[in-house]
Chains A and B, each alone.
Chain A
Amino acid sequence: MKLIQKLFDGIKPNFQKGAKWEKFHTLYEGHRTIVFAPDLVTKSKGAQIKDATDLKRVMITVVIAMIPALLFGSYNIGHQHFIATGEGSTFLDKAIFGALSVLPILLVSYAVGLATEFTFCVIRNHPISEGYLVTGMLIALVMPPYIPLWQVALATVFAVVIGKEVFGGTGMNILNVAMTARAFLYFAYPAQISGDLVWTSSELWSSLADKPAVDGFSGATALAVAYNSSIDGTPVVEALSKHNAAFNADYSFMSMFMGWIPGSIGETSTLMALIGAVILVATGVASWKIIVGGFGGAYAMGLVMNAFAGNGMDVNQFMAMPAHYHLVMGGLAFGVVFMATDPVSAAQTELGKWIYGILIGVFTVIIRVTNPAYPEGIMLAVLFMNVVAPLIDHYVVKANKKRRLQRATV
């Protein structure tokens, strides 16, 4: 420890006022405070002691909560790949294949994101904040496994600069940064982030010298299958099992809950998202109100859709899909647990968190079922509610002011 301390002390003069790297002192301090919790003490007036928890610990808690989703997602990529190619494979094969697909994306996301962040810290002369610890992981987890790395880099730069830094950095952003990255790719390069081919195809990532998919293989996600069923008129559950039979896939409710389906890296497993939710709620880092509201809202909206479906008012078969399927398909669970609960872009009043969470669930299902263009709704629902959150809070705050005012006149 002393050695590292000495090392830091040794280069410290270069970053002091007037020295040649003065501009970069924020980077020096940022790195030193990662290795060593700083030796700062409280001011002479005010609280003389402070809580042992800081933002770094809060952020690392979120990262740890995402690790089950990351590990499972990584393994599942291998699993899906070998289903597609029809090859026999061992546990190790799948794990290695998955890791080789995910690690580059994770590395690019962190490297590019942190570089962007550091650049802004130096230019603006503000301390390096911990927010990107979480964002970097999130961006990787919402990408399809075969996304070109330059697209990851581009989306990351866009999200960090336009999503966060232009508003003033960590704590000031309006939109969830990771969702901004995904939305950017979704609209800028739809071919690489949606459709049937991006989830298991190996065409875009051929350096592993693996085989192409078997003939006639469809890598459609469960959501896409459900969406297509609405066009040809077969009930969704039936369409899913047909798909299973045709392509050796398993789109049963249980399998989708576990996550053995194609999809973005971290989103497929509802179970892993729930494990993350347990960690986040037990540590008090995420609001359980948003999570419960999100799932509850989606389920309730699913039931509403079901109610209309039977009465000749149905637009499509998707409406008649059992409501609980919504909870395990697509990225709803991942989005509700990790994206919606971002405290900066979410509602910040306690009542507001309920409304915000419920509406995210509701909008996700509405977008999924009635939108003719995109089968997935959670991304747009979260971004939309990020924008609406301050409005919700505004009215909750207004009610508080009103209570105070009424008290005075009584």
Chain B
Amino acid sequence: MSKIVKLKKGFDLKLAGKAPLELLQVASASTFALKPSDFPGIQRPKVLVNEGDTVKAGTPLLLDKAMDQVLYASPVSGEVVEIKRGEKRKLLEIKILADKKITHEKGTPIDLSQNRESIVAQLAASGTWPHIIQRPYGIVANPMNVPKAIFISAFDTHPLAAEVNFLLQGEERYFQAGIDALAKLTAGKVHLNVDGSKAVSELFSSVRHVQLNQFSGPHPAGNVGVQIHHLDPINKGEIAWTVSPYGVVQIGKYVLEGIYDASKMVALTGSELKQRGYVKTYTGAQVTPFVKENTQATHARVISGNVLTGESVGAEGYLGFYHNQVTVIPEGDYEEFLGWLKPSASKLSFHKAIGMFSFLNRGEFKVDTNTHGEERPFVVSGVFEKVLPMDILPTYLFKAIITEDFDEMEELGLYEVIEEDVALCEFVDPSKNELQQLVRQGIELLMYS
């Protein structure tokens, strides 16, 4: 019973700097990092290694004492060079200096005819488990739970996003194995949601043991949260899991070969990069070799992930665990004479207020990090609703979080959204509020109280 869903609401950001589908030959990163901040919901991180230890790819580096079955593993083999802590000894990064040749911890391939418990136990310890995300809350899934269904979005509609079919080239066998494993973990279905505006690629059309659904429409049609809302929405007390296509491949590799292989392809995008394309590296790579000699502007921001949900990491920073994209755009810390009044067709805007002619501009936009205005209370109404294709009233949800009204948050659908689902709301908001952070605050209120 596959479903075809056509969405109308949303907004495609047409940015300059798409990565062509070609593999670049760039010097490989030498240091890699695991950052607990990549995993919202991690409560009491415990480091399992010391500075100076040598590790292999797949060696556990970290666990969360609140959920200690799940191990966070090293993406590469090498030496633990630094365990970086911040204020109050908060764990920030575990840095690994990689060997020239990566060696793997040898685990045992998983026999999928075993019972669910033992499959879960092996996956949880494998290093691949953090790819399984729980909804509500958008946190690493708890192995003790049985989700009502598992959802995989097989396309990414974020600005300049990596092409999923290109990332998964040659990984078909692992993808199927990953799906087979996931099918064992849920009582319900595994939903594979593909881009309905294109012909379904061979990779996804041939996959077995899934319900193949098609979604079309502007961003956020590719967001798994939006897809869940239209397939099998999450009600209070229910749990669903989501996995990225790359995560499925990772799980598949462990199932078939018993190794945690964190190699991944990353798209180098953004208007400020001289050379754009894809590079092969490992999870948590330092982005320096990709951007250092490759940036046009002297004053640019290096983002791990995309421009809507990513994180500014700087030219020395590390790729986020879930990211397969590096975006470099100009910084916007300049004043502009009467910038709020000047007519322009080259500044990207969802709105058509006086002087904003970007809706007439069919080209690509070069966008910087300027906020184009200061933070204000909510004034304009009906805008968030136009970019959130869900039966949710975002303005009221945000106000419920601001006032910390727990009943309202629940009733208005906070179980169905995470940061990425409201990222467009944050972008279009003329009052410039930080709505993604607000949604995470609301989620934490619900989780911990």
Q: Which residues of chain A have a CB within 8 Å of any CB of chain B? A: 1, 4-5, 33-58, 60-61, 64, 127, 129-131, 168-172, 279, 282-285, 287, 343-344, 346, 348-350, 353, 397, 400-401, 403-405, 407-408
| Bound CA span A42–B437, Å | 12
The residue of chain B having its C-beta at the shortest distance from the C-beta of A32 within the complex is: B335
The residue of chain A having its C-beta at the shortest distance from the C-beta of B11 within the complex is: A51
The reply to whether A38 and B373 form a contact with Cβ atoms under 8 Å apart is yes
The reply to whether B378 and A44 form a contact with Cβ atoms under 8 Å apart is no
Interface string of B336-366 (1 = CB under 8 A from A): 1111110010011111111110100000000
For the complex, is B58 an interface residue (Cβ under 8 Å from A)?
no
- Residue from the list A127, A283, A397 in contact with B393, Cβ < 8 A: A397
- CB-CB under 8 A from B108, the residues of chain A are none
25 A-B pairs, CB-CB below 8 angstroms? A36-B336, A37-B335, A37-B336, A39-B334, A44-B312, A47-B427, A48-B329, A49-B369, A52-B372, A53-B350, A53-B430, A55-B373, A56-B373, A58-B353, A60-B353, A127-B375, A127-B376, A168-B377, A172-B377, A283-B352, A287-B382, A343-B380, A343-B381, A401-B411, A404-B391
For the complex, is B103 an interface residue (Cβ under 8 Å from A)?
no
Interface pick from B71-79, B193-201, B301-309: B301-309
The residue of chain A having its C-beta at the shortest distance from the C-beta of B412 within the complex is: A401
A48 touching B312 in the complex, CB below 8 Å, given contacts A43-B434, A57-B340, A170-B379: yes
The reply to whether B354 and A283 form a contact with Cβ atoms under 8 Å apart is yes
The reply to whether A46 and B434 form a contact with Cβ atoms under 8 Å apart is yes
The reply to whether A407 and B233 form a contact with Cβ atoms under 8 Å apart is yes
- CB-CB under 8 A from A285, the residues of chain B are 353, 380
Q: Which residues of chain B have a CB within 8 Å of any CB of chain A? A: 13, 233, 235-236, 238, 301, 303, 307-312, 327, 329, 331-341, 344, 347-356, 358, 367-382, 385, 391-393, 395-396, 411-413, 419, 423, 426-432, 434, 436-437
- Residue from the list B307, B341, B344, B428 in contact with A56, Cβ < 8 A: B341
The residue of chain B having its C-beta at the shortest distance from the C-beta of A349 within the complex is: B393
The reply to whether A47 and B309 form a contact with Cβ atoms under 8 Å apart is yes
A51 touching B372 in the complex, CB below 8 Å, given contacts A39-B333, A283-B352, A349-B393: yes
**Which of B340, B369, B392 counts the most chain A CB atoms within 10 A?**
B340
The residue of chain A having its C-beta at the shortest distance from the C-beta of B327 within the complex is: A48
- CB-CB under 8 A from B348, the residues of chain A are 49, 51-52
- Residue from the list B233, B349, B378, B396 in contact with A397, Cβ < 8 A: B396
- CB-CB under 8 A from A41, the residues of chain B are 301, 331-333, 369-371
A36 touching B308 in the complex, CB below 8 Å, given contacts A46-B434, A46-B436, A284-B351: no
The reply to whether B301 and A48 form a contact with Cβ atoms under 8 Å apart is yes
- CB-CB under 8 A from A47, the residues of chain B are 307-309, 423, 426-427, 436
The reply to whether A35 and B338 form a contact with Cβ atoms under 8 Å apart is yes
CB A20 to nearest CB in B, in angstroms, measures: 25
- Residue from the list A50, A57, A397 in contact with B356, Cβ < 8 A: A57
- CB-CB under 8 A from A57, the residues of chain B are 340-341, 351, 353-356, 430
The reply to whether A283 and B371 form a contact with Cβ atoms under 8 Å apart is no
| Bound CA span A169–B312, Å | 34
CB B15 to nearest CB in A, in angstroms, measures: 8
The reply to whether A60 and B333 form a contact with Cβ atoms under 8 Å apart is no
The reply to whether B335 and A36 form a contact with Cβ atoms under 8 Å apart is yes
| Bound CA span A312–B11, Å | 57
- CB-CB under 8 A from B301, the residues of chain A are 41, 48
The reply to whether B372 and A37 form a contact with Cβ atoms under 8 Å apart is yes
- CB-CB under 8 A from A401, the residues of chain B are 411-412
The reply to whether B395 and A48 form a contact with Cβ atoms under 8 Å apart is no
The reply to whether A45 and B311 form a contact with Cβ atoms under 8 Å apart is yes
| Bound CA span A45–B392, Å | 24
CB A44 to nearest CB in B, in angstroms, measures: 4
| Bound CA span A44–B349, Å | 21
The residue of chain A having its C-beta at the shortest distance from the C-beta of B310 within the complex is: A48
The residue of chain A having its C-beta at the shortest distance from the C-beta of B235 within the complex is: A408
Nearest 6 pairs of A and B residues by beta carbon: A54-B373, A37-B339, A171-B377, A408-B235, A52-B347, A36-B335
| Bound CA span A60–B342, Å | 11
The reply to whether A350 and B385 form a contact with Cβ atoms under 8 Å apart is yes
- CB-CB under 8 A from B369, the residues of chain A are 41-42, 48-49
CB B355 to nearest CB in A, in angstroms, measures: 7
6 additional A-B residue pairs with CB within 8 Å, beyond A55-B376, A353-B382:
A37-B336, A39-B333, A50-B370, A54-B340, A56-B341, A400-B391
| Bound CA span A41–B335, Å | 11
CB A176 to nearest CB in B, in angstroms, measures: 13
- CB-CB under 8 A from B381, the residues of chain A are 287, 343, 346, 348
The residue of chain B having its C-beta at the shortest distance from the C-beta of A52 within the complex is: B347
